[in-house]
Chain A
């Protein structure tokens, strides 16, 4: 087994049997994660390749390049897998969270504004799983994901990165 090189993009192994880099998540596990927790169909990722750069940071790329790729960016960082509970990024929640059927919490406008500003808030109506949720609100006549929230003990904690927080 090799160690992960945090300065280059390495393709995720298809399955556990194909793993060559210590601790690297598999493509199978990533696709299953979206399907099992959020109900995002596995077919969504058919044309995507998955990559790791930085410890446990998973990127989705809508195509192929040779691995390893010593470049600055490859598609979108979609997932952090370096802790026990995997965490979808804000960008992945915005782009793919609309496909989710589970673990989606819908906010009223005042709640959505507070969430975007980075505030944690008491929300006692949620009776689904705890952990990372896709957070949505209504805009332009439809429901739309804003980002990822962490729900624990009756509280929704905003995970919007500082640079993306806005006080509207």
Chain B
């Protein structure tokens, strides 16, 4: 008869095995395509929850321009996501640009991981969306618990004349509130 393993030893052996798994396991971290599909869907939705000042548009039916600044991680995803979207009576159009400035004509600007040169915008009403946690956009995508979430800087939004609806603020992971006027 072999000796029966004491339960403590058994547990210790199991934990050692899992430690080995931890060391051994593959740690490749490829970007999930779904991540950018979800981000594209968000970008197509955000305009529903944002009020631009009237002067941001040349006419009541002129489109909301969604710009991808610099590197484009979306490919066709953004066009697919915005295809059937229309915010009130305005269509959504996607434009890809190299740098963002006040003359870019963008209403929404996705700037990826770059930090935003707000000095170039000079207060013009652009909903700047970054892809970094702690980014300085009005909306910053954050990966949390395996989900795409976002934070909102309502203070910066206010400084640029943007009104963010409470519904969007409710869904945000965190909100930097408007400062006192």
Mutual binders A and B: no
B residues apposed to A, CB below 8 Å:
none
A residues apposed to B, CB below 8 Å:
none
